[in-house]
Structures are given as structure tokens and as C-alpha cells.
């Protein structure tokens, strides 16, 4: 399908969506209405850029006709200049359209569940996990995302053996999904007396937050255990059974939450994380089916892959997937992560564009 035909297709789709959005029954279904609004926004953007492209093409035809028929040299010169400008405009519009026409990940708009676990390196790995959490918290603050703590197991010398937070905001998952994988750190730990550089690691997992509509969990498939909270929570810590541990019997997945004083709120948060893990499990299984067809450089499928190294002595961050090294590590650890994320998103767009062109 050529570009003009695809624009016409999206114009028809836009009209269909407008009709659906005006249907009172659909307007009453909040989830369906929001999904339609999102689809309409994406379609409208394509139609808008498509209209500008078609307008430039029409002006180009007029300018070429003038150049063929006009004898006056001044007018011919103006026509040539206009053609040069229009060629650039058309090229720019075509590039915009190609990017807009790249298939979108339908999960990108969701909230995210961020899990960080200290890996190899003992106490230093837990400290690094804490550093990563602070980096993501500052990044989310810069981007207007809300961070809600769910559960944490502190490290013996600081940081976290494991920490789970929810990140709320439009495109939270789409923004952070490429962070999944093994993050390696090279630095002199605070506990090191000889000044030697140690290498430690932490694992980051980013899940799309799932709704009850996405994943149905049967109550008989859940075992609920309660225990005394050991984290923040004031006077209720170690005195009331407010912390909750859920075990999903069919899969063996276990989720704990002790961040809230209320057992009910901890249960709701734990269920939210469990739904997201089950949802992500289904997505990964689907991705595995497609992996033979598509080998992505920035795929979020393999959690065991070493994706990034943080070298503190050289102030260098290296993302191994796209062979990108930058030398502003203190800024990045302070939450200025967007240039790295943008580079990863651009790589994914280029991959999908190649698939579109050659698929």
C-alpha cells in the first residue's frame, strides 16, 4: 500500500472513530472510551501530517507546470526555488509519516511496575540497587510520573536486596520498558579499605501494570498469608499483621506488600503487582513466539541480559545494546536519563520501520 493509500485509509478510520466516540453507549464505558480517544489521537496526527504532505505535493505539481509553461526567466527562477523548498518539505513530511505509521506497542500507555533486586556483589549490589531506585525516582519526578512504594527488603549495609514500586503516569511503561535487564556497576565501594574497584550488579524488571479486566485471578488460586510489617509504618510495625504475602498457586508466583499500615491496602497493592506479573508473563510468551521472526537490539524480553555498565572512576555509562557511551554519570544518577531512553526508543523505531519497509 503506497503512502497516499495509507493516508486515505487512516482518514476513513478517523471518521469511523469519530462516529464511535459520539455513541452514548461507548461514552458510558470509561475504559473503551479512553482507548478510542487514544486511537483517535494517533489517527488524527497521521491525517494532519498526511494533509500537509498532500498539500505540498499539489503545490509541487503546480510549480512544475509553471516551470514547463512559463517563458519569463524571473518567474522560472521563482518556480525553481519553490520546487527546491517543496522537495525538502515533502521529504520532511514523508519522514514524519513513516515514523507515525510505525506500529505502536499497545502497552506503552500503561502505568509501570518497577522491580529492582541486588545481584552479584553482596552488600555493594544492594547499595547499587538503592542508587538505581533513587535515579529512577528523580527521573520520574522530572517527567511528572508518580512513584508509589509497594514493598522493600533493605540491605544490611544500606540500599535494598529487593524493592518494588509502581510508577503512575501516561506512557510510564513505554518510557521505562527498556530498563529491564542486568545493570552492572564498577566503583570503589564505601566498605573497601584498599581502594580497589569492585564489580557488582542489580537486576531491573519493568512490567506493564495490568487491570482486573486484563487478567482475571480466581480467588481459589490465591493463598494469602499475613505477617508483621518490618519496614516503615510507625507504631504498627511489628505489632499488627498488616503485611500481606500472596502466592499464585498455578504459577508459583509470590508477591509481598508491607508498605501500608492497612492490611486491605497492602492486599490491593500486592494483587496489582501479581496481575502485572501474570500479564507480563503472557506478553513474554507471545514475544517468544515472534522471536524467530524478529530479533530486536533493544528487546525487553531477556531479563538476564547485561544491558548497561555504570563505570564511576571514568564517569562513564555504556549501554551495550546500542553501543552508546556517555561521560556524564553523575547527571544520569541524578535522574537525567532521558537522552539514553530517547536513543533506545529511536533504535526501536528504526527497527520497526525497517520491518515495515521490508516486511
Set of cell numbers at residue 348: 526501536
93 closest CA partner among 63, 48, 62: 48
Do 242 and 329 have their domain in common?
no
Does the residue 290 lie in any domain?
no
Query: Pick the residue with more confidence: 80 or 350?
Result: 80
Residues 56 and 201 in one domain: no
69/276 Cα distance (integer angstroms): 65
In sequence order, the β-bridge partners of residue 198 are 187
User: Of 258, 251, 245, 304, which is closest to residue 279 (Cα–Cα)?
Assistant: 251
The yes-or-no verdict on residue 233 having pLDDT over 70 is no
149 in any annotated domain = yes
Of 13-17, 176-180, 197-201, 287-291, minimum mean pLDDT range: 287-291
Pairing assessment for the beta strands 306-311 and 316-319 based on DSSP bridges: antiparallel
| Cβ 153 vs Cβ 145: under 8 Å | no
pLDDT at 183: 97
DSSP string covering 108-142: TTS-EEEEEEE-TTTHHHHHHHHHHHHHHHHHHHH
Whether residue 205 sits in one domain with residue 116: yes
What is the rounded distance in angstroms from the CA atom of residue 30 to the CA atom of residue 123? 47
What digits encode the pLDDT tens for the residues 178-220? 999 999 999 998 767 678 899 999 999 999 998 776 788 999 9
For the chain, how big is the Rg over CA atoms in Å? 26
- Looking at 101, 129, 152, the residue that finishes a domain is 101
Measure the CA–CA gap between 259 and 244, rounded to whole angstroms.
10
Q: Tens digits of per-residue pLDDT, 24-64?
A: 888 888 878 888 988 899 899 999 999 999 999 999 999 99
Across residues 127-139, what is the average pLDDT? Answer: 97
155 has pLDDT over 50: yes
Q: Give me the domain span that covers residue 237.
A: 219-285
Is residue 239 within 8 Å of residue 228, measured between CB atoms? Answer: yes
Pick from 72, 101, 130: which residue ends a domain?
101
Instruction: Indicate whether 187 and 144 sit together in one domain.
Output: yes
DSSP, collapsed to helix, strand or coil, labels residue 150 as strand
What is the domain count for the chain? 3
Q: Tens of pLDDT along 298-331?
A: 665 556 789 999 999 999 999 999 999 999 999 9
Tell me: do 242 and 274 sit in the same domain: yes
Query: Is 325 in a helix, a strand, or coil?
Result: strand
Amino acid at each position: 500500500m503506497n503512502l497516499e493509500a495509507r493516508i486515505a485509509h487512516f482518514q476513513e478510520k478517523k471518521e469511523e472513530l469519530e462516529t464511535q466516540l459520539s455513541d452514548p453507549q461507548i461514552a458510558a464505558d470509561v475504559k473503551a472510551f479512553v482507548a478510542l480517544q487514544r486511537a483517535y489521537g494517533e489517527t488524527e496526527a497521521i491525517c494532519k501530517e498526511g494533509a500537509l504532505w498532500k498539500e505540498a505535493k499539489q503545490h509541487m505539481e503546480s510549480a512544475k507546470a509553471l516551470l514547463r509553461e512559463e517563458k519569463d526567466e524571473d518567474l522560472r527562477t521563482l518556480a525553481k526555488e519553490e520546487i527546491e523548498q517543496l522537495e525538502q518539505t515533502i521529504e520532511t513530511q514523508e519522514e514524519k509519516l513513516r515514523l507515525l505509521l510505525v506500529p505502536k506497542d499497545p502497552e506503552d500507555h500503561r502505568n509501570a511496575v518497577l522491580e529492582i533486586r541486588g545481584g552479584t556483589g553482596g552488600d555493594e549490589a544492594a547499595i547499587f540497587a538503592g542508587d538505581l531506585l533513587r535515579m529512577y525516582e528523580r527521573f520520574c519526578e522530572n517527567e511528572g510520573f508518580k512513584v508509589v512504594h509497594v514493598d522493600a527488603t533493605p540491605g544490611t549495609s544500606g540500599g535494598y536486596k529487593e524493592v518494588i514500586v509502581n510508577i503512575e503516569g501516561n506512557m510510564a511503561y513505554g518510557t521505562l520498558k527498556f530498563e529491564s535487564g542486568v545493570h552492572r556497576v564498577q566503583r570503589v565501594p564505601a566498605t573497601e579499605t584498599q581502594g580497589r574497584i569492585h564489580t557488582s550488579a542489580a537486576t531491573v524488571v519493568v512490567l506493564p501494570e495490568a487491570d482486573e479486566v486484563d487478567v482475571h485471578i480466581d480467588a481459589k488460586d490465591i493463598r494469602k498469608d499475613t505477617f508483621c510489617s518490618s519496614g516503615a509504618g510507625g507504631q504498627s510495625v511489628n505489632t499488627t499483621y498488616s503485611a500481606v504475602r500472596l502466592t499464585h498457586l498455578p504459577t508459583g508466583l509470590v508477591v509481598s506488600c508491607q508498605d501500608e499500615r492497612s492490611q486491605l491496602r497492602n492486599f490491593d497493592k500486592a494483587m496489582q503487582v501479581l496481575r502485572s506479573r501474570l500479564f507480563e508473563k503472557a506478553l513474554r510468551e507471545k514475544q517468544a513466539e515472534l522471536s524467530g521472526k524478529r530479533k530486536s537490539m533493544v528487546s525487553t524480553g531477556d531479563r538476564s541480559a547485561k544491558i548497561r555498565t555504570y563505570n564511576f572512576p571514568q564517569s562513564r555509562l555504556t549501554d551495550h545494546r546500542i553501543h552508546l557511551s556517555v561521560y556524564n554519570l553523575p547527571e544520569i544518577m541524578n535522574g537525567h536519563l532521558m537522552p539514553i531512553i530517547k536513543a533506545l526508543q529511536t533504535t526501536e523505531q528504526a527497527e520497526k520501520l525497517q520491518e515495515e519497509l521490508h516486511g
